[in-house]
Chains A and B, each alone.
Chain A
Amino acid sequence: EIVLTQSPGTLSLSPGERGTLSCRASQSVSSYFAWYQQKPGQAPRLLIYGASSRATGIPDRFSGSGSGTDFTLTISRLEPEDFAVYYCQQYGSLPYTFGQGTKLEIK
């Protein structure tokens, strides 16, 4: 099973700042990699797939990069609605696995 490790566990930033979230896989997942956003009481929402492709309706302030074992989600300029928990996922190898999550909180 591929283990995904997200860092940091919590990220405290202010609106308008740039946010950088990381995820490392225990073995290569090529580009079979996604990022999801989850707000309290809601289901997760797809942000990025294929490591760098934005899902439909996702603002261009969200961008993904990386391949193999190291991936990054960047939010160029944080908006109030971006404060949430973010999960990475690999879907290249069963069982699909998720990172433990990064909580992005308002500083």
Chain B
Amino acid sequence: EVQLVESGGGLVQPGGSLRLSCSASGFTFSSYPMDWVRQAPGKGLEYVSGIRYNGGFTYYADSVKGRFSISRDNSKNTLYLQMSSLRPEDTAVYYCVKKYATGSYHYDFWGQGTLVTVSS
């Protein structure tokens, strides 16, 4: 059974930093590209960042470019999102998502999400 478990969320002051982790199990993590998607309270879904299966390519939404960094450790089956210079508008539930496969990048599995609150 595929499981994605996010952790690391919490309350942080504007300008602060936070690192999210996503522990993956039930599939060959090193073979799949992964993304982060967020959802502000009461709002819709927003793509944040993505990483190729081997970490060789990364992509960021304009809203987080230069502030967030995605990475993965395939030996630990873990995806990361390092967030810095956080702003109140970064407040959201952050979901770790697995892509179906190379060539079809829809999201077949989602984690339960971790809440990040940026406030003074």
Contacts from A to B (Cβ < 8 Å): 32, 34, 36, 43-46, 49-50, 55, 87, 89, 91, 94-101
Contact = CB atoms under 8 A, between A and B. Distances in A.
Given A49-B100, A50-B104, A98 B46 contact: yes
B110 interface: yes
Contacts, number: 55
A40 B83 CA distance: 26
B44 A87 contact: yes
A97 B100 contact: no
Contacts of B105: 32, 91, 96
A50 B103 CA distance: 11
B81 to A, nearest CB: 15
Most buried by A among B95, B100, B111, B112: B100
B63 to A, nearest CB: 9
Interface string B40-74: 00001111001000000001011000000000000
A29 B7 CA distance: 33
B27 interface: no
